[in-house]
């Protein structure tokens, strides 16, 4: 099974490259599943219903979120009628929406997509390790799902790598998001789970994590805000992770980074090209 | 001029690959300058004098540090007689050692190496932006140095990217360290500075940021220490950044990641191979 | 019912004043319940079994803990055989010991003592609000307990005040610990719960939060450790909170701070003197 | 010399009690100097010019600030023409306004008022210890000033106590602000400096640190904002510190907390009553 994960889409520039390139990638690479992190798709802050629908219309199967999930207040409402929009699982009980989605992939396979958030230097949500564990008790790889993808939205590399090892052999993919910079430590862990610490953002890399440089730089130096953060509008790099899983085991057989478009060195999965 | 930066060397496994491969790389790639971050070289925590000397004996020109600089207390002493060992510049006045080293590279060029530390989710040191600015006032690219390399040891990607843009055009290289995961956003910024958010560690990537997995995993789940952290001893990947600079301007003309050894996908600078 | 809570006892100096004064206070003030936070009683870091037993022998009914609970590793073991030693409730499932104790007070009343830990600028434990809520579902004031005391060990004042209001009317006392400085905002909240943001430490106030001044000061200025922290050994002030509850409702009728001994302005509950 | 410091005034309710009571206190207690922290005076967030002027008109000599200094953007502008408005000293060079004010007290004495901000769990400003040290080099007690007051705006008790001891004997008063809860550890340190970890806020104590309870409580439990924070409008307690200094030495001879108005136990300096 062929899975493409697309990292945090930032603003108009990030959306443009997704909408432009994704339909072609789906057919060229014969993708069975596309998951995309959309927490920054509305001008860098959150997601709106129309942006979400546009992603789905362009072939995304599930949209995941993160600490910016609720920056656009409407997400608290429309997430209830959007089963393909998934917010971090470890928000407290009673939070709108769901932290996991069981869907049918393009090839008819049963796929579980989980979104969870780390706690180190982020909001003190419920324990993501326990929360995912509980989810996997209810829905095990092979028994209940042909593939399981976890988008672990976290700040520090140690927490992300710990999650990778924690889930190794029990899910198909653990991919990190949130730092907006792609890492090159993609690998198949010893138990068969594809892993990458961060998929990177899909946005303009001539920026500070997707934002126009001036204000972030000014804040680091002056420690006083002088304007709002604005999503950078230069051409985006689409960043993500390509994973191929074994139909019998649901585990990963191949993993490669994806980087398409401006500035960053291009990377395409040679095994699909 | 050909520059190799090697990211945080972790423990015995990290040292082994450096000492084994570096002499060959220096001659094969005709390296003019080798800078290595050694903050985790002594069992994951700090650096000793004998480890430092071994790096120098194997061809390292300057060793940089970070938040683990003083984990081995002897470093507070021997750094005073080790001008090639550089600790973060923005420690308070009176801190042993120096935050920058002016050296003669293997090709006779004058090179300034600066080490500084970010403040977001790290110790509240002096402002690294101002501190580096002051250093560059005293030692400007071309006027006073043929190349300038900055190892910016920081946690968050935004602070690192902001530093890259802040120094763009004024230094040859800004390379990040500390997260122990290599990023694939290496690029030459618009002003001519080579940049990578993190060079990654040189250590065993079947680990949690270089440490044996069990204790970090246990702490994330149980929130109580049950043992000390130990450096993982599996085969290491040597991670770093290769930069070629223009002799006339001191700015970067080529940049590529380096990943050699176990587990991570190999990367060698094609322009030197 | 007469309740005395004693804040974080720090080291030998703190223990000395407790052991010296507490038996007299119990008889002079006709105390029905004494709860003491012991997280710093062993040289400033954690608690040993012999120190715990000495508190109990001197009239303490329940000892609570906090983020320093496990600094003395033996606590992980002996807490299992010490039902009067209570660690924060919101540690993950599987943590040794218990987060609440149901005991018989000196007057025969049924008392529930809960210890919980805040999460802001502290370890990301489980949600303390939810955890206490669940505990109170199982053991309600008047229905199941004649008095309920909550020691909320937290850093920031906002989280502590929020907890006070959250529990107002459902418990007899919410008293904060951890900052080692007594606050003078003791009051009976509108629902009848006695509240104080922090009871203060029981230790030497000619110090930095109970520790000999030199090393903390040196660390704030130099950002590098140069020695271990040592508990200050000057005469201690016993700090705490005095609460009188109504037998019919279990809610508070009177509240006053207690400060006895060196340096701080003395405070005794006039209604018991 | 008689000094009254008034802690963080929060919103309309806080301003009301100041404007109502301060003129009377100045004459009843024969105050020579009144310093007031105004960082939350505009609806809980920052200060406006008209609010600042009203404080001065009612007898305040100097207004200090903190991390909320710039919440009302106009403060960045009018602070330049308001020498009696002081922002934290350790903001980076180039920040509008000044971090210290040399003024003539009501009795004609020369008084230096310094405002500085801690860095633990707050913004990483410049080192406050070094910054104040430098200020005191230029303006020493007795040599250049008859009294020196430092408002140290910081989160953690350890940093505040360390500052107290650091300045002990060199300034008349070190008073903490920011936590919005008054502490009862007021004392004269061994070197003669009056000290209190936090003066508390001047606002409605039936609140969460001065804000209407609902939203803070909801955020602690749900981790998602649902509304803006609003300053609580119930009757305020005026909280602060009363210090009497020796004219010969400029050091403190008496210190007492001040709490006037609703909810908190009243405290007046007996030596002035
Ligand atoms: Fe994020
Ligand atoms: Fe993001
Ligand atoms: Fe580091
Ligand atoms: Fe490191
Ligand atoms: Fe404590
Ligand atoms: Fe504590
Ligand atoms: Fe503040
Ligand atoms: Fe404040």
Could you report the per-residue pLDDT of B14-45, keeping only the tens digit for each? 999 999 999 999 999 999 999 999 999 999 99
State yes or no: pLDDT of B273 exceeds 90.
no
Residue D121's nearest CA partner among D169, D72, D178, D77 is D178
Residue of B72, B153, B224, B225 to mutate, interface with C, max C Cβ within 10 Å: B224
The mean pLDDT value for C211-234 works out to 96
D76 and A222 in contact by Cβ < 8 A? no
The mean pLDDT value for B117-131 works out to 97
With CA atoms as reference, the chain A residue closest to D70 would be A224
pLDDT digits (tens, 9 = 90+) for C75-131: 999 999 999 999 999 999 999 999 999 999 999 999 999 999 999 999 999 999 999
- CA D119 to centroid of chain Cα atoms: 17
pLDDT at position C198 is 98
- Residue A13: enclosing H or E segment and its boundaries? helix A11-28
D95 and A224 in contact by Cβ < 8 A? yes
C92 and A120 in contact by Cβ < 8 A? no
- Return the beta strands (E) in D32-172 as ranges: 33-37, 62-64, 85-86, 100-104, 110-117, 147-153
Tell whether D89 is within 8 A of chain A (Cβ). no
Helix (H, G, I), strand (E, B) or coil at D103: strand
Q: What distance in angstroms lies between residue D152's CA and the mean position of ligand 5's atoms?
A: 22
B162 and A205 in contact by Cβ < 8 A? no
Q: How confident is the model at residue D157 (pLDDT cuts 50, 70, 90)?
A: very high
The mean pLDDT value for B240-253 works out to 98
> Chains with ≥3 Cβ pairs under 8 A against C?
A, B, D
Tell whether C198 is within 8 A of chain D (Cβ). yes
Residue B7's nearest CA partner among B167, B175, B205 is B175
Tell whether C133 is within 8 A of chain A (Cβ). no
Contacts of C267 in chain D (CB under 8 A): 184
Tell whether B132 is within 8 A of chain A (Cβ). no
C223 and B123 in contact by Cβ < 8 A? yes
Residues with CB under 5 A from ligand 2 (ion): A 8, 39-40
Q: How confident is the model at residue B269 (pLDDT cuts 50, 70, 90)?
A: very high
For B163, the token pair is: 């530093």
Tell whether B70 is within 8 A of chain C (Cβ). yes
The mean pLDDT value for C29-45 works out to 98
pLDDT at position D166 is 98
Percent of chain A with pLDDT over 70: 100
The shortest CB-CB distance from D184 to any of C161, C182, C217 is to: C182
Helix (H, G, I), strand (E, B) or coil at A253: strand
Q: What distance in angstroms lies between residue D178's CA and the mean position of ligand 8's atoms?
A: 4
Tell whether D50 is within 8 A of chain C (Cβ). no
Percent of chain B with pLDDT over 90: 99
Q: Which fold has domain A2-272?
A: Purple Acid Phosphatase; chain A, domain 2 (3.60.21)
Tell whether A127 is within 8 A of chain D (Cβ). no
The residue with tokens 């120190």 is C51
Count of CB pairs separated by less than 8 Å, B with D: 18
pLDDT at position D78 is 98
Write down how long chain C is.
273
For A268, the token pair is: 């395409």
Q: CA of B124 to nearest chain D CA: how many angstroms apart?
A: 6
Q: What span, in angstroms and rounded, lies between the C-alpha atoms of D267 and D269? A: 7
pLDDT digits (tens, 9 = 90+) for D48-101: 999 999 999 999 999 999 999 999 999 999 999 999 999 999 999 999 999 999
- Residue A115: enclosing H or E segment and its boundaries? strand A110-117
Q: Active-site residue numbers of A? A: 68
- Angle among Cα B189, B194, B200 to the nearest 5 degrees reads 120
The shortest CB-CB distance from B197 to any of A155, A159, A181 is to: A181
Q: How confident is the model at residue C159 (pLDDT cuts 50, 70, 90)?
A: very high
Mean pLDDT of the residues in chain C? 98
Beta bridge partners of D98: D86
Q: What distance in angstroms lies between residue D116's CA and the mean position of ligand 7's atoms?
A: 11
Tell whether D108 is within 8 A of chain A (Cβ). no
For A62, the token pair is: 């599930």
D119 and B124 in contact by Cβ < 8 A? yes
pLDDT at position A273 is 84
Q: How confident is the model at residue C9 (pLDDT cuts 50, 70, 90)?
A: very high
Beta bridge partners of A108: none
With CA atoms as reference, the chain B residue closest to A221 would be B129
With CA atoms as reference, the chain B residue closest to A180 would be B157
C263 and D121 in contact by Cβ < 8 A? no
Q: How confident is the model at residue D273 (pLDDT cuts 50, 70, 90)?
A: confident
Q: What span, in angstroms and rounded, lies between the C-alpha atoms of B107 and B105? A: 5
The mean pLDDT value for D200-204 works out to 98
Half-sphere exposure of C37 (CA within 13 A, CB side): 41
Q: How confident is the model at residue D113 (pLDDT cuts 50, 70, 90)?
A: very high
Tell whether B121 is within 8 A of chain C (Cβ). no
pLDDT at position C205 is 98
The mean pLDDT value for B51-69 works out to 98
Helix (H, G, I), strand (E, B) or coil at B166: helix
The shortest CB-CB distance from B124 to any of D92, D93, D124 is to: D124
D129 and C263 in contact by Cβ < 8 A? no
D119 and B120 in contact by Cβ < 8 A? no
CA separation, residue D48 to residues C77, C129, D77, D219 (Å): 57, 37, 10, 28
State yes or no: pLDDT of A119 exceeds 90.
yes
Contacts of C92 in chain B (CB under 8 A): 221-223
**D85 in Cβ contact with D42 (< 8 Å):** no
State yes or no: pLDDT of C273 exceeds 90.
no
For C241, the token pair is: 């909170």
Contacts of B119 in chain D (CB under 8 A): 124
D94 and A222 in contact by Cβ < 8 A? yes
Q: What distance in angstroms lies between residue C203's CA and the mean position of ligand 6's atoms?
A: 14
Residue A99's nearest CA partner among A64, A136, A73 is A64
Mean pLDDT of the residues in chain A? 98
ipTM tops 0.85: yes
Q: What span, in angstroms and rounded, lies between the C-alpha atoms of D18 and D210? A: 15
Tell whether D93 is within 8 A of chain B (Cβ). yes
pLDDT digits (tens, 9 = 90+) for B92-122: 999 999 999 999 999 999 999 999 999 999 9
Q: What span, in angstroms and rounded, lies between the C-alpha atoms of C127 and C146? A: 26
Q: H helices then E strands: how many in chain D?
A: 6, 12
The shortest CB-CB distance from A185 to any of B165, B182, B213 is to: B182
Q: How confident is the model at residue C18 (pLDDT cuts 50, 70, 90)?
A: very high
pLDDT digits (tens, 9 = 90+) for A65-110: 999 999 999 999 999 999 999 999 999 999 999 999 999 999 999 9
State yes or no: pLDDT of C66 exceeds 90.
yes
State yes or no: pLDDT of B196 exceeds 90.
yes
């Amino acid at each position: 099974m062929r899975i493409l994960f697309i990292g945090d889409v930032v603003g108009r520039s990030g959306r443009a490259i997704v909408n432009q390139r994704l339909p072609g990638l789906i057919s060229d690479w014969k993708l069975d599943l596309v998951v995309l992190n959309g927490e920054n798709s509305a001008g860098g802050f959150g997601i709106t219903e129309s942006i979400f629908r546009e992603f789905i219309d362009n072939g995304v199967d599930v949209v995941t979120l993160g600490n910016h999930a609720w920056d656009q207040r409407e997400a608290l409402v429309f997430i209830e009628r959007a089963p393909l929009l998934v917010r971090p699982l470890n928000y407290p009980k009673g939070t709108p929406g769901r932290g996991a989605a069981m869907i049918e992939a393009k090839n008819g396979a049963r796929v579980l997509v989980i979104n969870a958030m780390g706690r180190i230097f982020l909001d003190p949500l419920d324990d993501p390790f326990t929360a995912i564990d509980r989810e996997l008790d209810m829905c095990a790889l092979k028994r209940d799902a042909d593939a399981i993808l976890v988008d672990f939205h976290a700040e520090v590399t140690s927490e992300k790598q710990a999650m990778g090892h924690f889930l190794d052999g029990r899910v198909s993919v653990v991919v990190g998001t949130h730092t907006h910079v792609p890492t090159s430590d993609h690998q198949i862990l010893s138990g068969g789970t594809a892993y990458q610490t961060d998929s990177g953002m899909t946005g303009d890399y001539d920026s500070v994590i997707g934002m126009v440089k001036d204000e972030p730089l000014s804040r680091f130096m002056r420690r006083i805000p002088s304007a709002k953060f604005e999503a950078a509008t230069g051409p985006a790099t689409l960043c993500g992770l390509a994973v191929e899983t074994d139909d019998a085991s649901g585990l990963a057989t191949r993993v490669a980074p994806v980087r398409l478009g401006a500035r960053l060195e291009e990377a395409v999965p040679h095994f699909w090209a």
